[in-house]
Chain A
Amino acid sequence: MTTLHMADDRTDTPSIVERIRPVSAGGPVVAVHYLKQAAAFVFGEETVLLVSPDGNERRVNVHTGAILSAASDGERLITGGDDGKVVAVDADGGTTTIASDDKRRWIDHVAVGPNGAVAWSAGKTAYAHAGKGETRALDVASTVGGLTFAPKGFRLAIAHYNGATLWFPNVQTPPEVLDWKGSHLGVWFSPDGKYLITTMQEPTLHGWRLADRQHMRMSGYAARVRSLDWTASGAFLASSGSDQLILWPFDTKDGPTGKPPKMLAPQKAALAVVACHPKQPVVAAGYADGLTLLVRIDDGAEILAKRPGAAPVTALAWRADGGALAFGCEDGEAGILDF
């Protein structure tokens, strides 16, 4: 048995697995976010499970079919479903339907921005709502691959085929298009707003330094990169897509250009999900065999957070104070580690 073998291999790794508080998810977990003190486990279909600090579990129905996308600002969870709805869930389990697509198209992507801003997309159309006022819509040339808000202001980045579009929904100026050939599927701003990074269909990341639109190509991955996160200081961009944790240095003005990434925590299984500690230079890394490690960036020290299981880790989230880590897996295994 591979799993047992893996577990035996890690007798030298300090472990905190005994701190896991299992959560009875009961279905594949596709995302997890913290809403204030409550962990919100998002399932592949219909339901969000809220777990409060005292362990109280509460199920909230948000969609009638698949939950296709989820995003959070730490206060609210926004989900998009194949029922054409965009739904907001708060830490107490209250739900609000933010939008319903009139043709019941799939809501492929959602994003949450500063001051209550929300964005979503259906096909080639991106929608943005500032929290008050009208919903604005923008059609891009091809299906939206991903959405993210700039860290400040009401500005949305839309990833699509052959590049990304930067859009100020409440300003008349035409959207700015950043070109790069290929299909861009996910999009992230750096915390300082200076860089825009996309994940691509190819096993590579693309980046633009927004000041001068200089391109950055971050390649060498074994598989399509699906999970990215910035470290608390913004010094590193952590990524999946390999069998180890890949950290691109962003601590100088040139970003990672010409520099090799830091590579930590190599494993036999592919790295599936990364989540950076909100304060410390530590990354939670969830692998395709269910293993989860806490990796210290400075020296690569590892702590075993969860042993390998039957299915890949699909979701990881830190509580805002760094005092808890929630995880979810494809087979419904889920839990919370308290520190």
Chain B
Amino acid sequence: MSEKVPVTVLTGYLGAGKTTLLNRILSEPHGKKFAVIVNEFGEIGIDNDLVVNADEEVFEMNNGCVCCTVRGDLIRIIDGLMRRKGKFDAIIVETTGLADPAPVAQTFFVDDAIGAKTKLDAVVTVADAMWLKDRLKDAPETKNQIAFADVILINKTDLVKQDDLREIEARIRGINPYARLHRTERCAIALPEVLGRNAFDLERILDLEPDFLLANDYDHHHHGDHDHEHAHHHHRMKHYHDEDMQSLALSTDKPLDPDKFFPWVQNLVATEGPSILRSKGILAFKDDPERFVFQGVHMILDGDHQRPWQDGEKRASRIIFIGRKLPEEKIRQGFDACVA
């Protein structure tokens, strides 16, 4: 079977610079051809042969799950685009500023034909350095877009002071410590930082450390006067605590019982799915020589054995959740009860 076509989703509040990033991607001399799906209210022209207007039709699946929403228009458009397979190397979906990224992502898990021909590569969110703090207060969409992102560009950094930038980064970390953060002016960024990320590829789940432990190029220990510091037990880091959107990381060195874990996690996403935006996990099951990995978007979970545990590799299980008002104690106790 031929390679799946990667799909990159660009999100960001109105005016943050999505279209600037899109045009930058398209104009770089990379020799790649893109099919671009834009929302029909886009204001700036896009210089590309294959541009399709979408109307962001979000619908609920008829499966009793209120968070199982998909983009019907994307299913239709990608189906149509795949008739021209070979005419492009990748697909970029630009969403409207008010869009929730979850239905876009869920589309790739819910529709088998789309999932067979394309793969979600990453959700890239462009944030406006100047206005992000305000938008986090007054625009719930912005919080969703930050929480959901695999890659975040803090754009227009030339318009704000260094101290403000650190504060913005800390606020983003308070919501989503796992995304790769980049500071940009006019969305200037090396394309490998936004394309070909394989952020939804189970094969590529390597570890689930917060991004700033992997890339320690910024100072991430901040002390705000009106935000309280919050120390998680399991990963020794401090960050701003966003009042309604958080991440939760749990880990254990004790092997888990799959017969306890799967019913627990399935029940958890079934009951808390609307508040869990994304989840990921690396699991060490008792008497299982292979690493099991999973990821999820709201209620939809996708998991598989990834590879054998290597000699000398620590057999630890680690799961992370990013979501809104996560019931931390309930999740923690449930996870602890999965130990074999």
Where the two chains meet, the residues of A that have a C-beta atom closer than 8 Å to any C-beta of B are 28, 30, 44-45, 65-68, 82, 106, 108, 123, 142-143, 161, 180-183, 200-202, 223-224, 226
Contact = CB atoms under 8 A, between A and B. Distances in A.
Contact of B112 (A30, A123, A223): A223
Nearest to B68: A202
Contacts of A182: 59-62
23 contacts: A28-B85, A44-B82, A44-B84, A45-B83, A68-B80, A68-B83, A108-B80, A143-B72, A143-B76, A161-B59, A180-B62, A181-B62, A182-B60, A182-B62, A183-B59, A183-B61, A183-B62, A183-B72, A200-B62, A201-B62, A202-B61, A223-B112, A224-B113
B80 A66 contact: yes
A142 B61 contact: no
Nearest to B62: A182
Interface in B69-121: 70, 72-73, 75-77, 80-85, 87, 110-113
Interface residues of B, number: 25
Contacts of B82: 44
B55 A224 contact: no
A223 B113 CA distance: 9
A202 B65 CA distance: 12
B1 to A, nearest CB: 8
Given A224-B111, A226-B113, A161 B84 contact: no
B62 A44 contact: no
A152 to B, nearest CB: 30
B333 interface: no
Nearest to A223: B112
B72 A108 contact: no
A123 to B, nearest CB: 7
Contacts of B81: 66
Contact of B85 (A44, A183, A200, A224): A44
A183 B69 CA distance: 11
A209 B75 CA distance: 29
Contact of B75 (A28, A142, A201): A201
A108 B76 contact: yes
Contacts of B61: 182-183, 201-202
B85 A143 contact: no
B63 interface: yes
A113 to B, nearest CB: 23
A201 B83 contact: no
Contact of B111 (A66, A82, A201): A201
B57 interface: yes
A44 B83 contact: yes
Nearest to A45: B84
A331 B42 CA distance: 36
A180 B62 CA distance: 9
Contacts of A180: 62
Contacts of A200: 62
